Structure 1
């Protein structure tokens, strides 16, 4: 199974996100902020598929999910979807990083550390 992201269960998001990671100094917690510019979930053709119920990160280990999803508008039209995934334990951080490695490999993404 390839790693994928969905906002409506069963409908894969094809637009690749910009992902920003932060981690506490002691490494016990972390936050991932996903930004999707003009995602296919906002297309009129996908509107009939259902409502956005969260962001689902799916791979062979299972599903990571967050309900923290918001749309940003420009000139009255939704343009960007932003979602925040919070990791509350080092184990959750490791699991998220395994998902991101698989998702990155599937989609040709690379991880760059901030300087």
Structure 2
């Protein structure tokens, strides 16, 4: 049996490369937040978003199946000399159930292992 390589897709069939992840807790609601950071999006760069159907949610695919989650927000950050170079995309996921969070974390561990990423605590600012 072949195992499913963990993938992240905004558009069906177009796998995106995650650059970083920030895990947080919303102080007001207590909900767990995951901020997925992409330095580029293949679907935008290749104009695939115009040829493929947007699913309306982010698809996280691995051996356990597919997680479909609607982002709480997507932020495009631009920079460069003219201010029109895409620097990164931040996709915020709000996960309020512990069982969903555990499933998300299992996916993230598989994704990290498959893509050479490692977990590390963020150091306090100024250090």
The answer to whether residue 57 in structure 2 is matched with residue 62 in structure 1 is: no
User: RCO higher in 1 or 2 (8 Å CA, sep ≥ 6)?
Assistant: 1
TM-score by length of 1: 0.79
The answer to whether residue 77 in structure 2 is matched with residue 72 in structure 1 is: yes
Q: Which runs of 5+ in 1 are unaligned?
A: none
Asked if the contact 1:30/1:88 (under 8 Å) is kept, the reply is yes
The 2-side partners of 1:62 and 1:110 are apart by 23
The answer to whether residue 121 in structure 2 is matched with residue 113 in structure 1 is: yes
Shift of 1:51: 5.4
Moved more, 48-57 or 79-88: 48-57
* 3-state SS, counterpart of residue 54 of structure 1: strand
TM-score by length of 2: 0.72
**2:99 alignment counterpart:** 91
Highest CA radius of gyration, 1 or 2? Answer: 2
Shift of 1:21: 0.1
The answer to whether residue 11 in structure 2 is matched with residue 8 in structure 1 is: yes
**1:31 alignment counterpart:** 33
* 3-state SS, counterpart of residue 109 of structure 1: coil
The 2-side partners of 1:57 and 1:73 are apart by 25
Q: Deviations 1:26-46 (Å, cap 9, x if unpaired)?
A: xx7311001111222221353
Q: Which runs of 5+ in 2 are unaligned?
A: none
Asked if the contact 1:65/1:85 (under 8 Å) is kept, the reply is no
**1:102 alignment counterpart:** 110
**1:22 alignment counterpart:** 24
